[in-house]
Amino acid sequence: MAKILLVDDAAFMRKVVKDTLSKNGYTDLYEAVDGADAVEKYTEISPDLVIMDITMPNMDGLEALKAIRAKNGSANVVMCSAMGQEAMVIEAIQSGAKDFIVKPFKPERILKTVTSIVGNP
């Protein structure tokens, strides 16, 4: 069973992704509230996939992505962004993100991305 870490400062956004994944059989789900929390939890649980927002307080998603990739160069990180953040998305991909999902989320897009990286539950 794939371990998936969901990172977003908005509890509602974490819930949307968590509900989508759990309804489709992914049950080993963890949450972090910002980039610093994500790096700490990544170290603790070694998830198979991180789904992370770009814009967050304390440490943004790009900084957290770089910190996670420094710990594990093959870490699977998918970034999330709102429309209009193309420059951040490009930087995320250049920094090692596997993919990006545009908010607002479409459940089928989340599932397609997760399945392509970690397989079916």
The CATH number of the domain where 25 resides is what?
3.40.50.2300
Mean pLDDT of 18-24: 97
Segments forming the whole domain that contains residue 31 = 4-116
Is the pLDDT assigned to residue 86 strictly greater than 90?
no
3-state helix, strand, coil in the chain (%, to 5): 45, 20, 35
Return the minimum-mean-pLDDT range out of 38-47, 61-70, 71-80, 96-105: 96-105
Residue 121 is assigned to a structural domain of this protein: no
pLDDT in tens, 75-84: 999 999 886 6
Residue 78 is assigned to a structural domain of this protein: yes
What is the number of other CB atoms lying within 10 angstroms of the CB of residue 98? Answer: 16
Mean pLDDT of 43-68: 96
Per-residue pLDDT at 84: 65
Count up the domains in the chain and report the number: 1
Query: Taking Cα atoms as reference points, which of 67, 68, 73, 32 lies closest to residue 53?
Result: 32
* pTM metric for this prediction: 0.95
